[in-house]
Structure 1
Amino acid sequence: MQTSRIENATPDELAPILLSALQRMGQLGRDGAMALARLVADDDGDFDEAAEWIEEIAAGGLRE
């Protein structure tokens, strides 16, 4: 998927892309985290909400 399509992506289209990106960030470790941190504004409510959902999934929640 091209980044220009992210705004209109459905959850089912976006989820595999996000999973791959998060796994790669995990491989990159602190360097990957620092690169992301440079992009995220302190008052980015959308990022904060997404991070809470990711935390919930990482804790084993939201399984169907």
Structure 2
Amino acid sequence: MKLSQIPFATADELAPLLLAALQRLGELGREGAVALARIVDDGDADFDEAADWIETIADGGLRE
């Protein structure tokens, strides 16, 4: 998927890409976290909501 296609992608198309990106950032550790933090705008409500959902998933919640 090209970056330009992301705004039109469905949840099922985005989820595997997000998982792969998060896993890679996790492998990179602090370096990955700092790179992400550099581009996230403070007060980005969409990012904050997504981060809350990811936290819920990481805690074992939100299963179908």
Q: TM-score, normalised by structure 2?
A: 0.97
Query: Match for residue 57 of structure 1?
Result: 57
Higher relative contact order (CA 8 A, sep 6+): 1
Q: Distance in 2 between matches of 1:14 and 1:42?
A: 23
Gaps of 5+ in 1: none
Residue-pair matches, total: 64
The amino acid of 1:28's aligned partner reads: L
Equivalent residue, structure 1, for 2:31: 31
The 1-side partners of 2:63 and 2:43 are apart by 29
Compute the TM-score of the two structures, normalised by the length of structure 1.
0.97
